[in-house]
């Protein structure tokens, strides 16, 4: 199944501009301890955006997301459904490594939110796959990952969200590995469902707009008919 279809070609330029801004960012204390920012990478035309939590040591060293052990497992997960890293776009809720690989703090997530929002606009994905609880909270505040993982949801802004555990969690808790593989096998169907819903919504919007046109046209026709009476 093809998974391109998000943004148009103009998204690539926008994403590179966003990445350039991120590389120069000093808006929060994380900037002082980083080696590299990690803006994100992948297919700029993808219909699927993967959002993790924050860069680790290898990501900080290379400036690329998910290149450590968690990234290796992510590649396995994508292979399980016939996808590659190059088929999706991958980023994190924070673009600099939190010290000691600690969880990102709310103020750090909020500071980076404008960058993630800009990436979302540039990509316009049909589905956002959240990896981990911090990513999940960005889109579904208050949701518990144990109760929503592996099922398509709608965010308060209308985005289609597919929550998953972070691959790193399975490196520490082996039982989650099977859960991750089971969940990701449902992603292609979730993508189709999201595309179908978005298509239906666009069609309904177009029909609603077109329904207004005959009314205006009939008013013009009525005016013309009235003129013939004089």
Q: How does pLDDT run across 26-73, given as a tens digit for each residue? A: 999 999 999 999 999 999 999 999 999 999 999 999 999 999 999 999
Q: Which of 1-5, 75-79, 218-222 shows the highest mean pLDDT?
A: 75-79
Backbone phi and psi for residue 50, each to the nearest 5 degrees, phi listed first: -100, 130
Rounded-to-integer distance, Cα 170 and Cα 149, Å: 14
Contact (Cβ atoms closer than 8 angstroms) between residue 202 and residue 195:
no
Average pLDDT of the residues of the chain: 91
pTM summary value: 0.87
Mean pLDDT across 188-196: 98
Tokens 């207004």 locate to: 212
Q: Which fold has domain 10-227?
A: Uracil-DNA Glycosylase, subunit E (3.40.470)
Nearest to 52 by CA among 144, 168, 155: 168
Mean pLDDT across 117-142: 97
pLDDT at 219: 52
pLDDT at 6: 62
Q: How many angstroms separate the most distant Cα atoms in the chain?
A: 86
Expressed in angstroms, the distance from the first to the final Cα of the chain is: 64
pLDDT above 60 for 169: yes
pLDDT at 229: 44
Rounded-to-integer distance, Cα 212 and Cα 129, Å: 37
Q: Sorting pLDDT into bands at 50, 70 and 90, what band is 217?
A: low
Out of 23-27, 60-64, 191-195, 221-225, least confident range: 221-225
Cβ of 101: how many Cβ atoms within 10 Å? 14
For residues 116, 10, 64, 125, the Cα torsion angle rounded to the nearest 10 degrees is 50
158: left (phi over 0), alpha (psi -120 to 50) or beta: left
Q: Sorting pLDDT into bands at 50, 70 and 90, what band is 2?
A: low
* Residue 109: its H or E element: helix 106-123
The residues that bridge with 42 in the sheet, in sequence order, are 89
3-state secondary structure of 49: strand
Contact (Cβ atoms closer than 8 angstroms) between residue 74 and residue 92:
no
pLDDT at 222: 55
Out of 27-31, 151-155, 166-170, 204-208, least confident range: 204-208
The length of the chain, given as a count of residues: 230
């Amino acid at each position: 199944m093809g998974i391109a279809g998000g943004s148009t070609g103009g998204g690539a330029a926008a994403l590179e501009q966003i990445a350039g801004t991120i590389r120069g960012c000093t808006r929060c204390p994380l900037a002082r301890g980083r080696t590299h920012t990690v803006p994100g990478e992948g297919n700029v035309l993808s219909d699927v955006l993967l959002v993790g939590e924050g860069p680790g040591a290898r990501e900080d060293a290379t400036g690329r997301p998910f290149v450590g052990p968690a990234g290796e497992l992510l590649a396995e997960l994508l292979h399980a459904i016939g996808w590659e890293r190059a088929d999706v776009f991958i980023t994190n809720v924070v673009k600099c490594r939190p010290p000691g690989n600690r969880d990102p703090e709310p103020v750090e997530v909020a500071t980076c939110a404008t960058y993630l929002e800009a990436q979302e606009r540039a990509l316009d994905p049909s589905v956002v796959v959240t990896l981990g609880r911090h990513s999940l909270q960005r889109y579904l505040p208050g949701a518990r990952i144990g109760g929503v993982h592996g099922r398509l949801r709608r965010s308060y802004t209308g985005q289609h969200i597919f929550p998953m555990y972070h691959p790193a969690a399975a490196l520490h808790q082996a039982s989650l590995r099977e859960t991750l593989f089971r969940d990701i096998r449902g992603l292609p169907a979730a993508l189709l469902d999201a595309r179908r819903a978005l298509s239906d919504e666009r069609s309904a919007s177009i029909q609603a707009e077109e329904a207004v046109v005959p009314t205006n046209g009939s008013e013009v026709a009525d005016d013309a008919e009235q003129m013939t009476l004089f």
